[in-house]
Amino acid sequence: MATFAEVLAAQLRQEPGRPLLTFYDHASDERVELSVTTYANWVAKAAGLLTEVADLERGMSLRVDLPPHWLSPVFLGAAWSVGLRITAHDDPDAVVCGPDTLDTWAPRAGEIPVLACSLRPLGVRFADPVPAGVLDVGVEIWSQPDGWAPWDPPTGDDLATDDLTQDELFAPAKDGQSELTAAAGSSLTDGGRLLSVADPASPPGMATFTEPLRRGGSLVLVRNPDPDRLDGVHDAERATARA
């Protein structure tokens, strides 16, 4: 069976310094690049935040209500490291939201952990204080260690989404071509670099991150895409496929 932790560990052994996630925001001209190692460090910090601060445990659910952003794959990986299920439902055990949906989730901070991301460069805190009871990720995450290990490790049988187990999400397909890759509309091959404007935290867009990770490739994620600039990003980043 395959789990997220096993797949990430394999990538760390093979080529830890290679780019795994490159993020562009055409509205702000922000560019962020995470190597495999840097991504793993962020995942460890986020996993610590989910368990030590939000008190989440294996088998619980997490809603990642973010727009296309580099923090989405970070919280996906953190959730799967813990053994959480990424849910699209409105009754999660916890939620990670951004500034656009903070007002929607803040009133529920007394019921469930609400972790809010400012989506400002470098993952910093909100410029203004968040509502009472809401956890500002840009404040809380920095106190978490760069290394993290679960006391109750998930297996391939643990649900990764509402419909798929970790094994179904990460195990190689028998024919060498994952159905998830086809669903993402990508011709990505092993070691390829995928350019995408899809939300990796949404069910349709999740494969745009999990497939590059599993195949030893990388994702170039563009938020607020300018159609006139996408070809330039494709060429500059040496992308090999689009989704």
The span from the first CA to the last CA of the chain, in angstroms, equals: 27
C-beta separation of 113 from 54 below 8 A = yes
Give the C-alpha separation, 205 to 198, whole Å.
Answer: 5
Which of the four pLDDT bands, split at 50, 70 and 90, describes residue 204? confident
pTM to 2 decimal places: 0.94
pLDDT at 1: 63
Quick: pLDDT tens for 80-89: 999 999 999 9
Break the chain down into helix, strand, coil percent, rounded to 5: 35, 20, 45
Top-confidence residue, 1 or 153: 153
In the chain, the amino acid numbered 196 is S
Q: Comparing C-alpha atoms, which of 68, 85, 87 is closest to residue 22?
A: 68
Domain span at residue 207 reads 4-242
CA geometry: angle 171, 173, 178, nearest 5 deg:
100
Classify strands 30-35 and 19-25 as parallel, antiparallel or unpaired: antiparallel
Quick: pLDDT tens for 36-92: 999 999 999 999 999 999 999 999 999 999 999 999 999 999 999 999 999 999 999
pLDDT at 11: 95
What's the total number of domains in the chain?
1
- Mean per-residue pLDDT for 105-128? 96
**Residue 236 neighbours by CB under 8 Å, 6+ apart:** none
Beta-bridge partners for 24:
31, 222
Quick: pLDDT tens for 18-36: 999 999 999 999 999 999 9
What letter does residue 113 receive in the DSSP assignment?
-
Q: Which CATH number do you get for residue 34?
A: 3.40.50.12780
Quick: pLDDT tens for 133-182: 999 999 999 999 999 999 999 999 999 999 999 999 998 765 444 444 44
